[in-house]
Amino acid sequence: MGKPARQDGASSLTPSVASDSFKLLLSSGCLLAGVTHMAFGVLFYQAKVLPMAQVNIASVLIYVLAILLLRHDRVALALFMVIAEVAAHAVLAVIAVGWESGFHYYLLIVIPVYLVNQVNKWPFKIGFATFIGAAYVALDWYWRKAEPAYQMDLGTLAYLHRFNLVTTIAILSGLTVLYVHLINQAEDRLHELATTDSLTGLLNRRSMLAALSHEQAVRQRQPHDTCVLLVDIDHFKKLNDSYGHNMGDWALKAVAEVLEAGVRDMDLVARWGGEEFLIVLPFASRDTALAVAERLRTAISDLRFPSKDHTLRVSATLGLAELRADERVDQAIQRADAALYRGKDNGRNQVVVG
């Protein structure tokens, strides 16, 4: 509730997020490759190219093992196995049935997959990509006109060439789409981490400041009633000192849930700092905001926290201020803060209007 939309140009992938994304990318590639090699095994068996049928059975097993390794975070070993399999299969297939079969195309898949991995450093990745490119050129140079070990009829060879070309394009396209999707997911997650409080899930102070600037601009274009509420948990330091930080965190999360559940979708709720929360109520009069504040105060007072020997209760003091026509939002927050401290001085567990 009250969380700002994701902005364009979100930050790039962090190493941990990128690593998870690459693992999923590689796992998906292994699954696609395994299915493809099963089809190749059947084709070579029917064409009586039995050595290549056996090679494809081994390839399927390699991809199954690679997926299992990825599930156990053995990314480097899985990547090595995949790269070695693709290179070996491409070379063996070209030797077996010729360059015109199109198996050399699969070497091209290796380069983009290897470049986006988070396991190796860039100098090594660039060097390896250069090596694969050189190997592809060398394979073309030597085997384009060489006699294959097994002769296949021209019709089957042409079909195999087109199949390999289309499959290569499909795999590259699919992996590209998947990687873009993973990047967007990671950016959304990073944006959420940057704008929300990790403990309560509410907006953090920085995000709320941006939202307040937006609200100020909206009020200038379209004047309307706006109220701010500062909520401070009573005796929070004593709660932390007496019962530990775990109980304090529990109280913060419980109060945050009460606040978020007790306001409208358009309202903004943030953890303002420590045990203090800030609520912005746009298009709400002072009377409306006062009713909301009393309802929230009562709901917080009804919270119960089981302890070892008894049940704990918490309360909160709330300071309310309605924005004046010529007033900035931060000035209204200062008035709400002053009202809150008057409530603290007068016994706590109350709503005070500033």
Q: Tell me, what DSSP letter sits at residue 203?
A: B
Tokens standing for 262?
């007790």
CB atoms within 10 A of CB 316: 30
Q: For the whole model, what pTM was predicted?
A: 0.59
Q: What is the pLDDT of residue 193?
A: 73
* Amino acid (1-letter code) at residue 123: P
Looking at the predicted structure, is the pLDDT value of residue 118 above 80?
no
The alpha-helical segments, DSSP class H, found in the chain are: 15-46, 50-71, 75-97, 106-115, 122-143, 154-195, 205-221, 236-243, 245-261, 286-301, 329-345
Looking at the predicted structure, is the pLDDT value of residue 15 above 60?
no
Q: What is the pLDDT of residue 115?
A: 81
Average of per-residue pLDDT across 267-286: 92
* Amino acid (1-letter code) at residue 288: T
- The alpha carbon of 98 is separated from its chain's Cα centroid by a whole number of angstroms, namely 44
Looking at the predicted structure, is the pLDDT value of residue 6 above 60?
no
Instruction: Count CA atoms closer than 13 A to 223's CA, side-chain side.
Output: 5
CA distance 169 to 228: 56
Looking at the predicted structure, is the pLDDT value of residue 12 above 60?
no
Is residue 247 within 8 A of residue 305, CB to CB? The reply is: yes
CB atoms within 10 A of CB 102: 24
Average of per-residue pLDDT across 24-32: 85
Is residue 211 within 8 A of residue 268, CB to CB? The reply is: yes
Looking at the predicted structure, is the pLDDT value of residue 3 above 70?
no
Q: What is the pLDDT of residue 16?
A: 46
Categorize the per-residue pLDDT at 327 as very low, low, confident or very high, splitting at 50, 70 and 90.
confident
Which has the higher per-residue pLDDT, 218 or 162? Answer: 162
- 275 assigned to active site: yes
Looking at the predicted structure, is the pLDDT value of residue 30 above 70?
yes
Is residue 265 within 8 A of residue 274, CB to CB? The reply is: no
Q: What is the pLDDT of residue 26?
A: 83
Question: Which of 275, 276, 294, 322 is an active site residue?
Answer: 275
Q: What is the pLDDT of residue 298?
A: 95
CA angle 298, 274, 270 (to 5 degrees): 65
Looking at the predicted structure, is the pLDDT value of residue 339 above 80?
yes
Looking at every residue in the chain, the average pLDDT score rounds to 86
Q: What is the pLDDT of residue 40?
A: 92
Q: What is the pLDDT of residue 194?
A: 75
Q: What is the pLDDT of residue 49?
A: 93
User: Which residues are within 8 A (CB) of 217 and not within 5 positions of it... i.e. 6 or more apart?
Assistant: none
Structural domains in the chain, CATH included, are 15-195 (no CATH), 205-353 (3.30.70.270)
pLDDT tens-digit readout, 156-200: 899 999 999 998 898 888 878 877 887 887 787 777 777 788 889
